Amino acid sequence: MQNPKLSKDEVARAALRILDEMGLPDLTMRRLAADLNVRPSALYWYFPNKQTLLADLADRIVTQGRPAELVTGWDEQLRLVALALRDSLLAYRDSAEIVSSSLALGLGENPAHSTLRDALDSSPFDAEMTQRAAATMLHFILGHVSLEQQRIQYDSLGALSGEPVMLRMESCAGAFRFGVDTIISGLKQHSLAHPTATPGE
């Protein structure tokens, strides 16, 4: 039965705290229940399994840093949203892995993709191209942040020395911005080359 002293939001916030302090491997339903001082079975009223819990966490992580400001032009809006998503992901350990797995399994509401898609509202692209453009940017964001978070983890363990090749020439933030700008430049070129064509033509 539902614990009247516990809410779904409290369970999720406790899970985020464990995630940030200990990492994904240590975020178990048993540890979460102990942290909340309840039996593990009490958690299943709110989340039927760990993957649905992680999907909820994924949605919470990527929505916490949505940009409040509006800028002129779909390209600037897309850039702003991409930078905000990176900041949101870097706020929690192993977040890119959690969001990626939830995306692959089709769980959660996928607000990251929706936010990127909304940023393209004023773009010249049709619905299908907008979907593809948002997905491409999201895949880049998750891949880049995943690399950053792995690097942070290895550094904390003293497992590596030197810089990885992909990040050798500039900071992670600079490399990320370069990737975002490159994708946006490609989208602009596509809109010029195919002003009325549908994707695949």
Place of tokens 């809410």: 7
Same fold? 8-48, 69-193 = no
Burial of residue 40 (CB within 10 Å: 0-12, 13-18, 19+) is middle
pLDDT band (50, 70, 90) for residue 66: low
In the CATH scheme, what is the homologous superfamily, with its name and number, of domain 69-193?
Tetracycline Repressor, domain 2 (1.10.357.10)
Residues 79/181, Cβ–Cβ less than 8 Å: yes
Average pLDDT, the chain: 86
The two tokens of residue 172 are 């992670």
- pLDDT for 109 equals 87
Look at residues 183, 179, 161, 160 and name the one whose alpha carbon lies nearest to residue 171.
Answer: 179
Residue 29, Cβ neighbours under 10 Å: how many?
Answer: 16
Question: Model pTM?
Answer: 0.85
Q: Where are the domains of the chain?
A: 8-48, 69-193
Mean pLDDT over 129-135 rounds to 96
For residues 78 and 116, the answer to whether their CB atoms sit within 8 Å is yes
Cα atoms in the 13 Å half-sphere on the side-chain side of 25:
1
- CATH among 1.10.10.60, 1.10.540.10, 1.20.1090.10, 1.10.579.10 for 8-48: 1.10.10.60
- Would you mind telling me the total number of residues written for the chain in this entry? 201
**Dihedral of CA 7/9/14/18: which sign?**
positive
Percent of the chain with pLDDT over 70: 83
pLDDT tens readout for residues 13-56: 999 999 999 999 999 999 999 999 999 999 999 999 999 999 99
pLDDT of 175 above 70? yes
CB atoms within 10 A of CB 72: 8
pLDDT in tens, 136-172: 999 999 999 999 888 877 666 665 555 554 544 357 8
- Torsion from C-alpha of 167, 168, 172, 178, nearest 10 degrees: -80
The pLDDT-based confidence of 69 (bands split at 50, 70, 90) is low
